[in-house]
């Protein structure tokens, strides 16, 4: 009788176990990833890495937000703001990495949730709640060329920030210069708010250039963040190169390697010699007023002037232009009588303006002036390549 009682209790125990298993249906297991992880004796072989990590604070809004699965694949990823707004993103083809595709806001809280499954069907869920930074200051950036412009072979990519940036290495990593064909070049910093990218050699005509300044939400140090992204394209046009000779008083012009014109000129006189070196065309003007008082010489002084110029092209920040000068036609081709600019006839100035563009190169030789400074306009070619590279940090 005692053995029969033991058998009965054992059978009752088996029934209890079976009954306990029967409380979770097949459908419920399939629809409850968290339950699958808990009920399965083996831990999932898949692991999840979320960036930013849970409880992160002062996250740069421009930082990449990612979810990565190892030992399995992602089934679903969401990034939700505190106000319920979903941030869109995309999966890689092998479904192992998800990346947010939209910019985050400053001073916002987000929850990143990733779900993954391994080869055995084991599921894993991981969440990261993080908060983005509040900037002490934001900076913008302006390229010196208009989007879609056709420019000369000497055109630099000059970028001016609205304020100083401390971490220049981070800034450079946000500035992407893409060229076709591929062109060797580098950055040079002239101040904490001014950086220039130029190729090692003059651009090849026909080169397509794209600048993507992806600065939004990136931390540049001391609480300073990028304000907005900027993108611009330019195309390198035909090669136009001019050489102005202060001894012969002539300017020779080449287009795509062929000499096409010889222009009589008059450069700076002995008191105002034109700086020698390679200039870049910076801008063209019609009916431009030149005023000596803008650089400290009173208009009514012996060397002063204020005159309207019909055609003028800027070559430097310091006030060197080539321009129409009908009053000095008798001197052009014979002697230097200007205050530093390159004088030529109205007809020749019109021809040169029609055939040149932003970034074309004008080299002044034998002028008797000082050496042109690399920072005086688009004259960056004045700096040797090795020295140029030493001014970058990437």
**Catalytic positions, please?**
323, 341
Helix (H, G, I), strand (E, B) or coil at 381: helix
Q: Across the strands, what pairs with 70?
A: 47
Q: How many angstroms separate the most distant Cα atoms in the chain?
A: 138
From CA 281, how far away is CA 366, in angstroms rounded? 20
SS3 content of the chain, % helix, strand, coil (to 5): 15, 40, 45
From CA 356, how far away is CA 362, in angstroms rounded? 10
From CA 25, how far away is CA 38, in angstroms rounded? 15
Helix (H, G, I), strand (E, B) or coil at 336: coil
Cα atoms found within 13 Å of the Cα of residue 43, Cβ hemisphere only: 4
Contacts of 28 (CB under 8 A, 6+ apart): 35
Helix (H) or strand (E) holding 279: strand 277-280
With b for 16 or more beta-carbon neighbours within 10 A and e for fewer, the 78-96 pattern comes to ebeeeeeeebebebeeeeb
From CA 56, how far away is CA 132, in angstroms rounded? 8
Where do runs of H (alpha helix) occur along the chain? 2-21, 26-30, 33-39, 168-174, 346-355, 385-389
Which one, of 176, 183, 237, lies nearest residue 359 by Cα?
237
330 close to 266: Cβ distance less than 8 angstroms: no
From CA 195, how far away is CA 394, in angstroms rounded? 12
């Amino acid at each position: 009788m005692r053995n029969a009682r033991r058998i009965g209790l054992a059978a009752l125990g088996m029934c209890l176990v079976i009954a306990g298993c029967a409380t979770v249906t097949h459908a419920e297991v399939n629809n409850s990833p968290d339950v699958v992880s808990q009920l399965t004796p083996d831990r999932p072989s898949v692991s999840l890495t979320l960036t930013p990590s849970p409880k992160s604070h002062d996250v740069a809004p421009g930082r990449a937000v990612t979810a990565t699965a190892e030992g399995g694949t992602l089934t679903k990823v969401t990034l939700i703001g505190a106000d319920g707004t979903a941030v869109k993103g995309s999966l890689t083809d092998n479904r192992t990495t998800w990346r947010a595709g939209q910019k985050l806001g400053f001073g916002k809280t987000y929850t990143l949730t990733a779900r993954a499954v391994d080869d055995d069907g084991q599921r894993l869920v991981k969440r990261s709640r993080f908060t983005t930074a509040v900037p002490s200051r934001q900076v913008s950036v302006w390229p010196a060329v208009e989007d879609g412009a056709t420019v000369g072979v000497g055109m630099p990519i000059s970028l001016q920030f609205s304020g100083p940036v401390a971490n220049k290495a981070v800034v450079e990593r946000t500035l992407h210069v893409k060229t076709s064909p591929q062109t060797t070049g580098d950055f040079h910093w002239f101040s904490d708010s001014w950086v220039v990218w130029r190729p090692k050699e003059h651009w090849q005509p026909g080169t397509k250039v794209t600048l993507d300044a992806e600065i939004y939400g990136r931390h540049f140090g001391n609480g300073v963040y990028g304000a907005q992204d900027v993108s611009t394209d330019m195309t390198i046009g035909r090669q136009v190169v001019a050489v102005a000779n202060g001894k012969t008083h002539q300017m020779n012009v080449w287009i795509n390697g062929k000499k096409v014109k010889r222009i009589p000129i008059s450069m700076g006189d002995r008191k105002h010699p034109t700086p020698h070196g390679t200039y870049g065309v910076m801008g063209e003007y019609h009916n431009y007023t030149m005023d000596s008082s803008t650089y400290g010489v009173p208009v009514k002084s012996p060397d002063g002037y204020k005159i309207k110029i019909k055609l003028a092209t800027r070559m430097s920040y310091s006030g060197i232009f080539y321009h129409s000068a009908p009053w000095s036609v008798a001197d052009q081709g014979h002697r230097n009588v200007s205050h530093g600019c390159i004088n030529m006839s109205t007809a020749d100035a019109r021809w040169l303006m029609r055939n040149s563009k932003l970034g074309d190169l004008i080299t002044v030789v034998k002028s008797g002036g000082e050496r042109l400074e690399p920072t005086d306009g688009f004259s960056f070619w004045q700096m040797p390549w090795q020295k140029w590279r030493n001014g970058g940090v990437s």
